[in-house]
Amino acid sequence: MIIGKMGKGKVKEREDRNLLKRVAKKVNISEGERGVEDILRVIYRNQPISTKRIAQLCKLPLPIVAKVRTILERERILKRENGAVLTEKGLEFVENVLKFKFKGSLRCPLCEGRGIVLNEFFKEILEKVKPWFRKRPEVNTLLDQSYATPETSVYRAALMCERGDLEGKRIIFIGDDDLTSLPVALTQFPEEVYVVDIDERLLNLIKSFSEKEGVKIRIVKHDLRKEMPEELKNNFDVFSTDPPYTIDGLKLFLSRGVECLGEEGVAYLSYSHKPIDEWLKVQEEITKMNFVISELIPNFNYYEGSEIIGNTTFIARLIGKRLKVNIGDTEKIYTGLVKPTVRYYKCLKCGKIHKLLNERIESLRCECGSKKFRMIKREKLS
């Protein structure tokens, strides 16, 4: 009798766990059942919690989290009370079926998981660079630009300092729409600071900062799809990059950095959190260049907007020896070319729907004169 009851309990538990499978299939989430379970765990530990914060902690795209949340609400697992909250049915599911027990968070409240805190020196630098970050031009989404917060860029500089990669070093930024070169230069620790970027607007801003703040940042306008200038090759100790979040974009930006380092050196890579299949490919390409991932900190970088990546990415410190260049397709390095997507925007003033393909929302203007829109749908093209 007892054995029979236990068997039925196991069957019921498997049936209950099928909820994860059904949700994962409906949403087509790359992380599968584990991704849905991670979302529920984050809610259980932090409820009430916003969709944006769930996406950040789970390292999942915001649209995916929003879809999962909507389906779980229909299943009466979740409800809305100043954020996502488990219903009585949901609580029973996660505690009895998924066996959740631990509530709260062990993340350091001071560093928010970054592993470092800003002292007065870096806090002063943060206040000094904030006005310059507000002067950044509109992002060019065709170049996969997505601006990091000023706090993020200062934390990057602080991390590089803590790891011994600023003092007396020659540093080059392979693209710098996040303006991380500004706080790095303000420390006065590096021997040289260079920035290579294709966007003349950003380079002019960096040049103006350099002149007015009395620091030396050398700027080079260059399309990384073309060979690096000879004077930059084999001339640096450290490079930092936040490349397009495509495999060929990663390979190209890292390879240009390798050319600047030469045989060995240190790289700081900021990159989007990926599903395991894509992450395996990222790891493989990094290894091919003879880099090892000596350190990886999730949720280190935060961005203005960029809901598609949950507003957050990781930073990795790479150490290389006998480095190798590994350049792939130099034409399709941007997301819009690799995964062309039609986006539909609704004008918040007159309600007209606008359809965009490989165009910048920043340049869109409705016939009614409004420049405020809300994206209502995305369609990927084959």
Statement to judge: residues 264 and 229 lie in one domain: yes
d(CA 184, CA 271): 20
Q: What is the DSSP letter of 234?
A: T
260-317 pLDDT, tens digit per residue, is 999 999 999 999 888 888 899 999 999 999 999 999 999 999 988 655 555 789 999 9
Give the position of tokens 């209502």: 376
Total domain count for the chain? 3
CATH number at residue 45: 1.10.10.10
Statement to judge: residues 133 and 253 lie in one domain: yes
Statement to judge: residues 14 and 65 lie in one domain: yes
d(CA 79, CA 62): 18
- Predicted confidence at residue 237, as pLDDT, reads 97
Tokens at 197, concatenated: 């970027």
Burial class (CB in 10 A: 0-12, 13-18, 19+), 307: middle
40-57 pLDDT, tens digit per residue, is 999 999 999 999 899 989
Range of the domain at 59: 2-97
Statement to judge: residues 26 and 130 lie in one domain: no
Statement to judge: residues 67 and 211 lie in one domain: no
- Predicted confidence at residue 189, as pLDDT, reads 97
- Predicted confidence at residue 344, as pLDDT, reads 77
Do the Cβ atoms of 166 and 184 come closer than 8 Å?
A: yes
- Predicted confidence at residue 133, as pLDDT, reads 94
Looking at the predicted structure, is the pLDDT value of residue 150 above 60?
Answer: yes
192-250 pLDDT, tens digit per residue, is 999 999 999 999 999 999 999 999 999 999 999 999 999 999 999 999 999 988 899 99
- Average the pLDDT over 182-187 and give the result: 98
d(CA 214, CA 182): 11
Statement to judge: residues 203 and 352 lie in one domain: no
Q: How far apart are the first and last CA of the chain?
A: 56
Looking at the predicted structure, is the pLDDT value of residue 159 above 90?
Answer: yes
Statement to judge: residues 215 and 288 lie in one domain: yes
Statement to judge: residues 85 and 153 lie in one domain: no
Statement to judge: residues 313 and 355 lie in one domain: no
Tokens at 138, concatenated: 């509109």
Statement to judge: residues 75 and 194 lie in one domain: no
CATH number at residue 361: 2.20.28
Beta strands in 92-134 (DSSP E): none
d(CA 132, CA 127): 10
d(CA 232, CA 294): 25
Statement to judge: residues 167 and 300 lie in one domain: yes
Q: Of 140-154, 180-194, 239-253, where does the model show the most confidence?
A: 180-194
Statement to judge: residues 140 and 77 lie in one domain: no
318-375 pLDDT, tens digit per residue, is 999 999 998 877 677 666 555 656 777 788 888 888 877 656 566 678 888 887 877 6
53-107 pLDDT, tens digit per residue, is 999 899 888 888 999 999 999 999 999 999 999 999 999 999 999 999 999 888 8
Side chain identity, residue 39: I
